[in-house]
Amino acid sequence: MARDARGGRPAGHRPRVQLAALVVAGVFLLIGVLGFIPGITTDYGELRFGGHHSEALLLGLFQVSILHNAVHLLFGLVGLVMARTVAGARVFLAAGGAIYLALWLYGLVIEAVNPDGGANILPVNDADNWLHLALGFGMLALGLLLSNEAGTGGRLDNPAKRH
């Protein structure tokens, strides 16, 4: 059976948690890039570096800024790097899910306390908040429920199986 370039597991086989992390990271990279494309981002002329004054809307729905787009790009790059190992993929998905749940809470607090205040450095609107909630639960579920060995509840990274 063919092996990967480092002589590890068979070529072409990647645990589901790593595939999920790669897909999620790819989506973050795509969203980060799309946030800089006029037309896909409406009111592109209103795109600001950060803060709640950026009126640009990705897909006409999600409020974005240069900082917001850069965070998506960075998050995607980190995900690609972390998806190289099963443990890294799990951490990316689970910790990323927790981060997005925290962003959801941040958005709720900002809206409740003072939506026009200086604390709103990442522009968020209702659509962003709902998306952050879905992303948070989705990533957390993927990171915690996908096993490196389907149905076994195996360890994150089994050194005995490394070559």
Q: Is 116 exposed, middle or buried (CB count within 10 Å of its CB: 0-12, 13-18, 19+)?
A: exposed
Q: For residues 118 and 111, give the distance between their C-alpha atoms in angstroms, rounded to a whole number.
A: 12
For the chain, counts of helices (H) and of strands (E): 4, 3
Q: Give me the domain span that covers residue 25.
A: 16-148
The total of structural domains in the chain comes to 1
Q: Please check whether residue 135 lies inside any domain of the structure.
A: yes
For residue 1, name the pLDDT band (cuts at 50, 70, 90): very low
Please give the pLDDT value at position 151: 43
Task: Evaluate whether 103 touches 124 at the Cβ level (below 8 Å).
Answer: yes
Q: Would the pLDDT of 116 be above 90?
A: no
Least confident residue range of 6-15, 35-44, 84-93: 6-15
Q: Please check whether residue 73 lies inside any domain of the structure.
A: yes
